[in-house]
């Protein structure tokens, strides 16, 4: 599956967004290691800080549909433009796609490590546990 298909799926997902406050729909789409296409859209809340980004919905869908790893990811806004995931969602994507996740942004293809250098992840916890024996 190439990024063209992911962009289309993300655009479709954006049409489902619940955005009565920002009026800024986002759709996200990803390919999993075993070939599944998963999507998500943003869901806002009257208590603004509780807003769920499109990536949150995508990760929930990943786990609910059997789990696995993300290998390709992109997200778009309500007019179909490719956008770059917010900082919090870069960390969310790291958990399930790792540093090598391929990401299509407005500036082209890159890895998640390009977007989130010097990241903190599960390997840091593993290294600590190895040292402490816990
Ligand atoms: N948003 C996302 O869904 N993902 C991002 O990576 C950037 C921001 C949403 C959150 C909010 O509903 C709207 O875009 C405006 O910030």
Closest CA to ligand 1's atom 4: 53
pLDDT tens-place values along the chain, 134 residues long:
899 999 999 999 999 999 999 999 999 999 999 999 999 999 999 999 999 999 999 999 999 999 999 999 999 999 999 999 999 999 999 999 999 999 999 999 999 999 999 999 999 999 999 999 97
DSSP element (H, E) containing 77: strand 70-77
Distance 42 CA to ligand 1 centre (A): 6
Among 93, 74, 91, CA closest to 82 = 74
The answer, yes or no, to whether any atom of ligand 1 lies below 6 A from the CB of 111, is no
Ligand 1 atom 10: residue of nearest CA: 53
| pTM greater than the 0.85 cutoff | yes
Centre of ligand 1 from the C-alpha of residue 121, in Å? 23
Residue 103 bridge partners (DSSP): 73, 110
């Amino acid at each position: 599956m190439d990024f063209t298909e992911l962009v289309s799926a993300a655009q479709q997902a954006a049409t489902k967004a619940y955005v009565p406050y920002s009026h800024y729909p986002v759709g996200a789409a990803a390919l999993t290691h075993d070939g599944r296409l998963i999507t998500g859209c943003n869901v806002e809340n009257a208590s603004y800080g509780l807003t769920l980004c499109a990536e949150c919905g995508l990760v929930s869908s990943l786990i609910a549909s059997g789990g696995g790893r993300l290998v390709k990811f992109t997200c778009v806004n309500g007019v179909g433009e490719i956008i770059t995931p917010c900082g919090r969602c870069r960390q969310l994507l790291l958990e399930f796609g790792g540093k090598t996740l391929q990401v299509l942004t407005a500036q082209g293809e890159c890895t998640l490590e390009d977007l989130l250098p010097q990241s903190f992840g599960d390997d840091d916890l593993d290294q600590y546990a190895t040292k402490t024996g816990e």
